[in-house]
Amino acid sequence: QVQLVESGGGSVQTGGSLRLSCEASGTTGSNYCMGWFRQAPGKEREGIAVIYPVTSSTYYEDFMQGQFTISHDNGKKTAYLRMNSLKPDDTAMYYCAAERCPKFSDWVRRRTGVTEYPYRGQGTQVTVSS
């Protein structure tokens, strides 16, 4: 059974940085694509970024504008989300998600679907104060 555990959230001031981590277990022998999405109180889930580990290909939602960086350590089965220049609008619960990787061409077509990945963690809270 795939399990995802996020860590690294916390409280920072505007302009600060955080690095979130997501450790996966139960993925032995399979290639899993991972990504991040967030949800603020009273708002819809919002996809952030995804990564295709075999090629290290990444995709970011347009609103990121270079603010966040996703990466992956295959050996540690861990995905990361580096977040810079944080603003109060970035305050949300951040979730890691995963799915068994499809063919790369199919992944490219479905890159915006991280909020629908079948596996997700419990989330880590990020709070940015002004």
Per-residue pLDDT at 67:
94
Q: Is 88 left (phi over 0), alpha (psi -120 to 50) or beta?
A: alpha
Please tell me the distance from the alpha carbon of residue 41 to that of residue 24, in angstroms, as a whole number.
26
Confidence of residue 29 (pLDDT cuts 50, 70, 90): low
CA atoms within 13 A on the CB side of 15: 1
Percent of the chain with pLDDT over 70: 98
Is residue 27's pLDDT more than 90?
no
Closest CA relative to residue 73, chosen from 86, 83, 82, 63 = 82
pLDDT in tens, 66-114: 899 999 998 888 999 999 999 999 999 999 999 999 999 999 888 888 9
